[in-house]
Amino acid sequence: METLEGAERCFPQLLNNSCMKPMPPQSDALFIYILLSFISLLTTTLNLLVIISISHFRQLHSPTNLLILSLAVSDLLVGLLLMPVEILFTEACWLLGDLMCAVYYVVVFIITSSSVGNMVLISIDRYLAICDPLRYTTRVTLDRTKICVCLCWICSGLYNSLILKDFLRHPDSQNSCYGECVVVLNYITGAIDCVFTFFGPITVIITLYLRVFVVAVSQAQAVRPHIAAVTLQRSVTVTAKKSELKAARTLGVVIVVFLICFCPYYSPSLMGEDIEDSSSSSPFVVWLLNFNSCLNPMIYAFFYPWFRKSIKLIVTLQILQPGSCDAKIL
């Protein structure tokens, strides 16, 4: 290993086995830490507002919003747990030991997989709402949605525990030196993981949203010539369809942003390479993946009036007043 100028050993007492990490210039490091800390704080705060909004206001208790709530929980965990670890140990030494290294990566993989699963559920929800609106309310209920969300998280935990079983047994087996935290998925495991957590879900998501887009366009063309002659009942129906289409468009933006942020992470599998996660490798790719958790609530704030209203009620502490859960948000 070539000794870098200005490098320091992670554990000076282990002269032969300790890793050496280059220390970045102090001014640059301070700016980066402040920026990343702000992103972590913003991610945590915005997703916490989403969770409080949907949990508190009864008008927001719908199957679609329950899926958004589940996604916000995974995004909150990214801002609350994963981002701080990346800030502390990016370009630095891993000081928490092998056990915490294993726990950290299991949590990372579970949160990533659950986010993908939530995106698939959101796509299915929008597909049923737009393409089969007459049976949507009977087929998609709160109880069924809760079951699907729970299964998503449970399957994510079981699946990632399975693909990381060797790493969990020997979390230090892939470390090149003491003071490093790294997990490497070989080509076969990486390819399987890529299929189950990227290609498969992305294929389902794109297929469903293409179908939603086609149906939405055809509905808009069918409704337009009859707008002038609609009765009050049909006007309500049209309004409901517009609401569903708006929700589909908003969640479509969420999914496009999701694809942009996730594709670079899985690009090694596309080129037939091993996927490596470590405390110091590919920081841009890791932070792009994590930054998706900050963008989601920003999209809600931009497209959803109910989110802006609920934020106002939360910030002004009006949710502490009796009966605030029945406030008119929609």
Residue 202: the pLDDT is 85
Which of the four pLDDT bands, split at 50, 70 and 90, describes residue 62? very high
CATH of the domain at 140: 1.20.1070.10
6 within domain boundaries: no
Mean pLDDT over residues 248-262, rounded? 79
Query: Environment class of residue 46 by beta-carbon count within 10 Å: exposed (0-12), middle (13-18) or buried (19+)?
Result: buried
Evaluate whether 120 touches 205 at the Cβ level (below 8 Å): yes
pLDDT tens-digit readout, 65-78: 999 999 999 999 99
Segment of 111-115, 181-185, 187-191, 280-284 carrying the highest mean pLDDT: 111-115
Give the pLDDT of residue 74. Answer: 94
Which domain does 48 fall in, by range? Answer: 25-326
Crossing angle for the helix pair 26-56 and 305-315, nearest 10 degrees? 100
Report pLDDT for 213: 78
Please give the Cα distance from 226 to 162 (Å, whole number). Answer: 55
Terminal Cα-to-Cα distance of the chain (whole angstroms): 61
pLDDT of 49 strictly over 80: yes
pLDDT tens string 1-36: 444 444 577 776 665 677 766 565 566 667 888 888
User: CA 311, CA 161: separation in Å to the nearest integer?
Assistant: 37
Largest CA distance in the chain: 84
Query: Mean pLDDT, to the nearest integer, of 215-242?
Result: 56
The per-residue pLDDT for 148 is 96
Residue 9 lies in a domain: no
Segment 135-150 mean pLDDT: 93
Report the share of the chain in percent with pLDDT over 70: 78
Q: Is residue 1 part of a domain?
A: no
Residues 80-110: tens digit of each pLDDT: 998 998 887 766 678 788 888 888 889 989 9
Q: Which pLDDT belongs to residue 180? A: 77
Q: What is the pLDDT of residue 236?
A: 43
The total of structural domains in the chain comes to: 1
Phi first, then psi: give them for residue 300, nearest 5 degrees: -60, -45
Is 3 within the bounds of a domain?
no
- Tell me the whole-structure pTM to 2 decimals: 0.82
Residue 290: closest CA among 41, 70, 40 = 40
The verdict on residue 161 lying in a domain is yes
H/E stretch holding 22: strand 20-22
Q: Please spell the DSSP secondary structure of 249-283, one letter per residue.
A: HHHHHHHHHHHHHHHHHHHHHHTT--EEEESSS-H
Q: Which of 41-45, 226-230, 248-252, 290-294 is modeled with the greatest confidence?
A: 41-45
What's residue 60's pLDDT? 92
Average pLDDT of span 309-316: 91
Domain assignment present for 66:
yes
In a domain, 18, yes or no: no
Over the chain, what is the mean pLDDT?
80
Question: At 181, is the pLDDT very low, low, confident or very high (cuts 50, 70, 90)?
Answer: confident
- Cα dist. 130→45, 90, 124, 228 in Å? 32, 44, 10, 23
Residue 164 near residue 110 (C-beta atoms within 8 A): no
Does residue 289 sit within a domain?
A: yes
CA nearest neighbour of 41 among 83, 88, 96: 83
pLDDT beyond 70 at 227: no
Q: Which residues, 6 or more positions from 78, have their beta carbon under 8 angstroms from its beta carbon?
A: 43, 111, 290, 293
Where residue 322 falls (left for φ over 0; alpha for ψ -120 to 50; beta otherwise) is: beta
